[in-house]
Amino acid sequence: MAVFFSALSRTKSALRSHSVFLRCMSNVPENTVYGGPKPQNPNQRVTLTHLKQKYRKGQPITVVTAYDYPSAVHVDTAGIDMCLVGDSAAMVVHGHDTTLPISLDEMLVHCRAVARGAKRPLLVGDLSFGTYESSTSQAVDTAVRVLKEGGMDAIKLEGGSLSRITAARGIVEAGIAVMGHVGLTPQAISVLGGFRPQGKSVATAVKEAGCFSVVLECVPPPVAAAATSALRIPTIGIGAGPFCSGQVLVYHDLLGMLQHPHHAKVTPKFCKQYAGVGDVINKALLEYKKEVTNCSFPGPAHSPYKISPSDVNGFLNELQKLGLDNAASAAAEAAEKIGRAESSGDGSTASD
């Protein structure tokens, strides 16, 4: 037995030093058989314990919805507490009119990309439509895949109906942290006949059972305030006023990026644009098109791979030996233009 515990101790030590454990996983709710999340360190990733501490101190929790590696890196750098990989990727990234079409496999691609880019925030992955409604067993299986294959720390599911509560409880009992979502639930669009705010009563929100947090979307501020007071978990608002425990916005929305035409027609009233990144992108693309068209890009500064005059001559001789006189003339002309542009310093290789 002593030999066993000695080997176990050495194994634990090796695992702690291995790079695969650089991310302090926090996928397990507190007070479970797994022991809960590891102690929070400011230099490590955000855990459920950290969020609970902020909640108890009344410190607002910041959440951003992102879908890929570049945006996740920005979210990570900004020190955002939580990064949500939402099924809204169906609309924002894939160009659908609703969130319904996105599959679990597509969601897992987004989850993995975000997990590679965001090393600090708590990562929450949406369970997409059709992946958890049939049974508790289906819900648990899907949640397990989101953690194991997607690299998430927790999952989010929508609605406050009995079946959703049962699914949430089953997932929590399986040792997986669950975030609820009530109010406007985009997955219910086929029943609602469009995106309309639902659940304008505290009772709807309170139905969420076993969750570590809940998103309140598009509900009146007094209702959100009542829910926040009644519940003993953090509420994350989106279009729910300033009285929630934290706020969430979509990366593309808050940056003012161009989106799917559906968003252009129905711009969220609750979204504040903190930048006009879409305008900057359009301007850059037009400038790029202009410079390629007038042959000012790429100039010498962006043509870094050099060849000496002697090597140019040798190259031209070899081309001529092969009977490629036109190619040799093109190479000689290119070398002359590059040399002239470097001498003049104007950066342009455009024809005279």
Active-site annotation holds for 217: yes
294 vs 281, 304, 332, CA distance in Å?
20, 20, 21
From the list 30, 106, 217, 336, the catalytic residue is: 217
Classify each residue of 33-51 as buried b or exposed e, where b means 16 or more C-beta atoms within 10 Å of its C-beta: eeebbeebeeebbbbbebb
Measured CA to CA, the distance from residue 66 to residue 44 in angstroms comes to 20
Rounded to the nearest 10°, the torsion over CA 102, 104, 105, 108 is 100
Cβ contacts of 12 within 8 Å, gap of 6 or more? none
The DSSP H or E segment spanning 62 is strand 61-65
* Inter-residue contact 250 to 270 (CB < 8 Å): no
Classify each residue of 101-111 as buried b or exposed e, where b means 16 or more C-beta atoms within 10 Å of its C-beta: bbebebbbbbb
Cα Dmax for the chain? 86
Burial class (CB in 10 A: 0-12, 13-18, 19+), 301: exposed
Q: Please provide the size of the chain in residues.
A: 352
Interstrand relation of 61-65 and 246-250 (parallel, antiparallel or unpaired)? parallel
DSSP one-letter code for 40: P
197 vs 96, 97, 186, 220, 240, CA distance in Å?
20, 17, 9, 10, 11
54 vs 62, 227, 316, CA distance in Å?
11, 18, 69
Read out DSSP for 239-254? SS-TTSSEEEEEHHHH
Question: What residues are annotated to the active site?
Answer: 217
